[in-house]
Chains A and B, each alone.
Chain A
Amino acid sequence: MLHVENLTASIGDKPILNGLSLDVGAGEVHAIMGPNGSGKSTFAHALAGRDGYEISGVATLDGADLLEMEPEDRAAAGIFMGFQYPVEIPGVNNMYFLRTAVNSVRRARGEDEISAREFLKVAQEAMELVEMKQDFLNRSVNAGFSGGEKKRNEILQMAMMQPKLAVLDETDSGLDIDALRVVASGVNSLRGPERSIIVITHYQRLLDYIKPDFVHVLVEGKIVESGDHTLALHLEEKGYADFLGDPDAELSGASA
């Protein structure tokens, strides 16, 4: 489904991704772990289409070249990114935002717009999934939301958008254990044979709830190790020191 080959990304002279390659098949869940600054979020934004990076390499979704597309076209193609820091948009009603998003993608795919009734039904189901109250839809997008509410709103949007590939960037950050459980069960219920998920996380904790098929270690903009979920357990125990080329890091790790 997703094919990434030798992807590089830099801002100005500063390289962030240094030849990242990854293949994600339909229905698979991949976890990408790595220390701070390793390029995890940049990888997510490179797939979603954020401006400001110099990008080269290959990234395709079902054969379609993502790197040539605007962010909205990538969404229409089936990419959904869950933001680490969901953006507050005061004055824009959450329900109106969601409906505009769903209909924009439908229009881009040549489908009919969703009816108001159908939309409410789907929204209702999605809200139950993330245990959100009705008034959630009437508030401005993320404005004044708690950290947990913002992340639940991301999963709500994912449920509404029904993407082919969801890239969840540190969806666990800032969540207490209850919110983590809600978010994880939301993600799990959206797993399916036609939907792939990339979970980007710093900690193994999230992977107790969302069991990945593959785990990759990202260091200095490259995948340096891939394995099954036991790799995450190894990282939890030993940290990233084994994978860092910097001898100082290994020393401080040993003395700690």
Chain B
Amino acid sequence: MTVATLPSQAAALDQVGSLQLPTKRDEAWRYAPHKSLANLTFGQASMPSAVPGDVDAQIPQLDGPRLVLVNGVVDDERSDLSSVPAGVSFVGLSDVPAANAALLDQTHGSADDAFSIINRAYGSGGALVQVDGQHADVLHIVDVLVPGAEQNASTSRVVIDVAAGSSVTVVETRIGSGEMFGGSNVRTEITLAENATVEHIILQDLPAAQFHIGRVDVTQAAGSTLNARLFNLGADYGRVAYHVHLTGEGAHADLSGLYFGFGTQTLDQQITVVHEAPNCTSRQSYRGVLDDSSTGIWNGGVDVRPGADGTDSEQSNDNLLLSKQADINTMPRLEILADEVSCQHGATVGQLDETALYYMRSRGIRKEEASKLLINGFADQVMDELDNEVVRAWITKRLGHDHE
């Protein structure tokens, strides 16, 4: 390793021995499987002796550079960084020159929950993306969890730093291997300079026996734009929390996503957008489909700080429950401490529209197929926000509704 232990990492390492895991009383962790979370065993990143399963079959085959992390360690064999465009630096954290170490030491406000501290303590592995200039290329980061007998949980960091006026798209695909219990803890930190634009897509598809704990911290300067898309599909407990800080005037954050639960899955989205500067805009738009006895959580907050006048925010969360045992907990939160603010929010929970089903059946379409069409129609409205055809096709296939 070229990077010495970071000051923030040293501090976190001091804390890991005496960590309090979240409990039911922590609002942001209320529906998490608290007992099982305690069974995750974290430690320093180490490559497993073998990676079972076919990684390529589980992920979208995007054109462009790809960095594969296995238990937080760069897998050179599966990575391909040959096509990294000029103006972009895309490297494993262990290859970050000491001069850039400060980038990795940022804390993005208070990330003081146990899993953030664990991530900083053990997150020596991961990826650093630095972007200068406008790039249509898609950078793909694949995080693979391979639970081991001694250590069943992995830790990775993704740090994305985008220079003024620059733009990039980053896709993070998070998967796991095998049927053993375990969990991946991935924290992404994105810094957008003035007028920078980032499209950030998370495809969470861990196996049903595993947990995913994701956290995305974003700091946006004036005039910058974040487009964050979450497809929270896999894992027994699949969680992604966004903490977005709009620190410069006129910044815009657009977050949307889809969670689609089966079996006993719990899919948890925790979103907080903090308006700290005037005339920023934000949108949160999430859709959930919950079947069997799955549970969905959408906890979306907007904090408008003093002085963030002229804030314009919208939140919506629409849910489709396909079974009587499925459950959704939707909580829009607003805290407004500024003037001339427009904040709208709405949440809906519904079942499949019986009238629409009947209408389709009267056109000869079988009941099961009509249901599928309705569900896909509901979910596709999130997909419409994706430009990348390969990502769209992967999601379509993953959801089992390949049209043609």
Contacts and interface: CB of A to CB of B under 8 A. Distances in A.
Given A50-B358, A86-B359, A96-B403, A72 B376 contact: no
Contact of B381 (A76, A91, A102, A157): A91
B362 A92 contact: no
Interface in A75-94: 75-76, 80-81, 83, 86-92
A108 interface: yes
Given A86-B359, A89-B356, A89-B360, A100 B378 contact: no
B337 interface: no
A55 B376 CA distance: 33
A86 B367 CA distance: 18
Nearest to B379: A91
Nearest to B377: A91
A108 B379 CA distance: 28
A190 B368 CA distance: 31
Interface string A91-109: 1100011001110110010
Nearest to A51: B358
A49 B361 CA distance: 9
B364 A70 contact: no
A212 B376 CA distance: 41
A75 B369 contact: no
Contact of A101 (B354, B363, B381): B363
A140 B377 contact: yes
Interface string B356-390: 10111111111101000110111111000000000
A127 interface: no
B356 to A, nearest CB: 5
A87 to B, nearest CB: 4
Given A90-B377, A91-B376, A96-B403, A70 B359 contact: no
A71 B362 contact: yes
Interface string A6-49: 00000000000000000000000000000000000000000011
Given A71-B358, A104-B369, A89 B377 contact: yes
A101 B355 contact: no
A91 B360 CA distance: 14
Interface string B325-368: 00000000000000000000000000001111011111111110
A102 B360 CA distance: 11
Contacts of A87: 353, 355-356, 358-359
Interface string B105-148: 00000000000000000000000000000000000000000000
B362 A49 contact: yes
B376 A75 contact: no
Nearest to A89: B356
Given A91-B380, A92-B373, A92-B377, A48 B365 contact: no
A98 to B, nearest CB: 8
Contacts of B381: 90-91
A96 B374 CA distance: 12
B376 to A, nearest CB: 7
Contacts of B403: 96
A76 B374 CA distance: 21
B96 to A, nearest CB: 43
A75 B359 contact: no
A75 B377 contact: no
A70 B355 contact: no
26 contacts: A48-B362, A49-B362, A71-B361, A72-B363, A72-B364, A72-B365, A72-B366, A75-B363, A80-B362, A83-B362, A87-B355, A89-B353, A89-B373, A90-B378, A90-B381, A91-B376, A91-B377, A91-B378, A91-B380, A91-B381, A100-B365, A100-B373, A101-B363, A104-B366, A161-B363, A161-B364
Interface of A: 48-51, 70-72, 74-76, 80-81, 83, 86-92, 96-97, 100-102, 104-105, 108, 140, 157, 161
Q: Which 10 A-B pairs have the closest CB atoms?
A: A91-B377, A75-B364, A105-B364, A101-B363, A71-B361, A87-B359, A92-B377, A104-B364, A72-B361, A104-B365
Given A76-B364, A96-B403, A108-B364, 9 more contacts: A49-B362, A70-B361, A70-B367, A71-B358, A72-B361, A91-B377, A91-B381, A97-B360, A102-B364
